[in-house]
Structure 1
Amino acid sequence: MVYRPIHRQWRTPKRAFYIPLIFELGATVGLLILFGIAQPDLFRTQLWQAGADLNFNSSPVLLLYAYANHEPLPQIPFVWSLMLTNFNVAISVISLFVLIVKLVAFIMNVWFPIICTVFYVVLSALYATSVYGQAGPDNLDPDFPSSVAWYIAKPCTVAANQSIQSSCRVAKGTFATTVFMLAVCVFNLGYGIYSMLPNELDNAPQDSDDDDAGSFNKETKIWEMGNIPPTPRTGTMPYTPRTMAFNTLDRQLPLRQYR
């Protein structure tokens, strides 16, 4: 058995490629919309302040206190930071790029398991970071520590304000879509690793050139076994007086018939 790390065959039929692709496309488009409308600060600070009002987490007012007292700015929790918002937008764009590359590479028969594995290792790590960030801890205020963002851990109805409830639902939907996208990435990663494991397909022909060579040899064998006359030689035949006589008799000139 010869192990090929690059030019490997998938261990399932090609039509199985399109099933996870449909889910991946839907999740990618959904995240592009949800992350796009959340930028730069559609509901992040609103939910942060709502959690502070309900004594669930720290308050963004701490930043104003630091500005007013000329104190060093505290480290903003990742869950409430602009960095997380920009990060989410960036990975949604990267996901769309990977999806386009994946589709083109599959059509051109160069979407190999090793490429799939590398791509989805990166995407799985990025989406795991996004999931952690959206539901991440907030320990900025020691009086009100939070291990999980309140809009994830609690129902949206804990807030009386309808606008906050609406923002909470959008945040929950964004988090759920991100978790689903992470599951899709992990599935593709597992599929790539599964196809990278040694299997019986390692002895199958992998290169299209080998297939062409096999077809050529088969056609040559059929040609040799058939009744196709060989190609006449192009070299010069030896010329003797006897050859001239036979050629003359073979022509059967008209005047010779009446002698």
Structure 2
Amino acid sequence: MAGMGCFLPRKYRSPLAFKILLVCELPLSVGILTLTGIAAPNLYRTKLWQDGADNGFNSSPDEKVYALANYRPYTTPRPWSPFTTNFNLVIAVLSLFFLLTKTPMFIMNVFYPPLSLLVHAICVLLYSIAAAFQASSDTTDPKHPQPGPPWYITKNCNVASLHTNVNYCNQAKATFALSVVLVFLFACHLVLAAISCFPTEEDREKKRLKEERKSTLAELKSIKSPLNPDGKMTFPLTTPRTTAFNRLEGNTDLPLRDRSDSYSTMPREEETQGMFQKPEPQQEAQMYFPPPPQAAGKGKA
């Protein structure tokens, strides 16, 4: 439909679903931040690595020393890499920051679905990478290859060679589980935001009525104020004086004609002033009655 290309969604299809996701996200974000903060920088990573080597589940941390001594290149497996531990802590802090920012923005109705789509797409990507790093394989030792996730994910923590590593194994297992759950949670956010970005029938109807209202107002404005491209009125202004001049010229149209010869035949102001002056009333002639003749004197004969 015309005009829907500039549609900006401002509301979610289900605001209640967004609120439920926020409520679920808070304890998960706090939990994974706590676990990754405890694990950093290297509380139990090397201990679990060595415990797996003692049980024959994976390579040994000593492989790095042997490789450097023999001048062989060596890359630390991802499950035991310091980068994985630090990466988990960074994204946990980042996701909690997103949570503390988007919650008041959602309450103020400014966390629009397109912004939610961008933020949660980033979160899905980061936590997917974190979960993939934690579940990576370890094949650096041909005698003890680990083709799948590390032992603390695939096995029961009670198989640890040291009893003190059981608690560390449970923490690492919980960190991986929370990472997977957060991927699913942010994916739900992403789906809700994507669905909300498409206009509904109600949005289309509101857009159509808005466009019709704009076109109607534009038409009314053009009728009320007819302006030419130069911004001047297209209809000339008329005054009683110009109307009188046109009548003297014999023009039937009231507006003054824009002709050069009309001004040459126009009477002067002194002449026209006398034309419109009301003639003074003439005084009526007084009748003259001669005095009556005097009577003849009584003494005359």
| TM tier, smaller | 0.7 to 0.9
**8 Å contact kept, 1:151–1:172:** yes
Separation in structure 2 between the aligned mates of residue 102 and residue 32 of structure 1, nearest angstrom = 18
Classify 1:93/1:201 alpha carbon distance in 2 versus 1 (closer, same or farther; 3 Å).
farther
Within 5 A, what are the aligned runs for 1:10-29?
A: 10-12=12-14, 14-29=15-30
SS in 2 for 1:52: helix
SS in 2 for 1:186: helix
Amino acid at match of 1:79: P
Separation in structure 2 between the aligned mates of residue 145 and residue 201 of structure 1, nearest angstrom = 59
Deviation at 1:139, TM superposition (A): 1.3
Structure 1 gaps, min length 5: 214-259
| 1:149 and 2:122 correspond | no
User: So what's the TM-score if we normalise by structure 2?
Assistant: 0.64
Structure 2 gaps, min length 5: 214-301
Classify 1:140/1:204 alpha carbon distance in 2 versus 1 (closer, same or farther; 3 Å).
farther
Separation in structure 1 between the aligned mates of residue 86 and residue 21 of structure 2, nearest angstrom = 27
Structure 1 equivalent of residue 54 of structure 2: 53
Structure 2 equivalent of residue 228 of structure 1: none
Separation in structure 2 between the aligned mates of residue 130 and residue 5 of structure 1, nearest angstrom = 35
Residue identity (%): 40
| 1:159 and 2:193 correspond | no
Separation in structure 2 between the aligned mates of residue 5 and residue 114 of structure 1, nearest angstrom = 11
Aligned pair count reads 206
Higher alpha-carbon deviation: 1-10 or 112-121: 1-10
Structure 2 equivalent of residue 111 of structure 1: 111
Amino acid at match of 1:118: L
Amino acid at match of 1:50: D
Amino acid at match of 2:201: E
**Which of 8, 11, 23 pairs up with 1:9?**
11
Post-superposition CA distance 1:84-126 (Å, at most 9, x none): 1110111011101111221122122111111111111111010
Amino acid at match of 1:75: T
Q: Which has the higher contact order (CA 8 A, sep 6+)?
A: 1
Within 5 A, what are the aligned runs for 1:86-235?
A: 86-146=86-146, 147-203=148-204, 205=206
**8 Å contact kept, 2:46–2:80:** yes
Structure 2 equivalent of residue 239 of structure 1: none
Deviation at 1:143, TM superposition (A): 2.1
Amino acid at match of 2:176: F
SS in 2 for 1:145: coil
Structure 1 equivalent of residue 83 of structure 2: 83
SS in 1 for 2:164: helix
Higher alpha-carbon deviation: 196-205 or 159-168: 196-205
**8 Å contact kept, 2:51–2:160:** yes
Deviation at 1:205, TM superposition (A): 4.9
User: So what's the TM-score if we normalise by structure 1?
Assistant: 0.74
What is the CA RMSD across the aligned residues, in angstroms? 2.0
Amino acid at match of 2:25: E
Separation in structure 1 between the aligned mates of residue 93 and residue 200 of structure 2, nearest angstrom = 35
